[in-house]
Amino acid sequence: MAPRLPPTLLANARAMRAEPAPAEAKLWYRLKGRQLAGYTFTRQVVFGPYIADFACRSERLVVELDGDSHATREAYDMKRSAELEARGYRVLRFPNSEVHENIEGVLEMILHALAPSPSPGPSLAGRGEQDT
């Protein structure tokens, strides 16, 4: 059984969902409902003592948006990212300004992180037709 989450943390996540920051609302509009290549995202996801902005659990990817206050919270953000990575998640960070100015580029970078790496196919060496 999973450990019970602190009620205050859950309440904070719910409040953040109800009144998202403008950049979060803009990105969520493009991620919700499997709009990005069929991947399922959730928002304001509780991971231990942290609330991640967005998560694609099936691909173990967290997307964080950083506002102006994150410039003074760099050590905290690094610790938080390290904890998420220790749980097996990859973390992508984008400044809010990038979401507002280049949403298509942000979505492309997220999609690139989600796309499976192409596996090397069988070697074709020595399989060509021989000259007769």
H helix or E strand, kind and range, residue 50: strand 50-56
Backbone angles phi, psi at 86, to 5 degrees: -65, -25
What's the pLDDT at 118?
59
Domains and CATH numbers, the chain: 7-114 (3.40.960.10)
What separation in angstroms does the CA of 80 have from each of 4, 15, 19, 94, 117?
20, 20, 23, 15, 26
What separation in angstroms does the CA of 128 have from each of 99, 122, 123, 124, 125?
49, 13, 11, 7, 7
What's the pLDDT at 84?
94
Residues of the chain with pLDDT under 50: 123-132
Q: What is the DSSP letter of 19?
A: S
What's the pLDDT at 104?
98
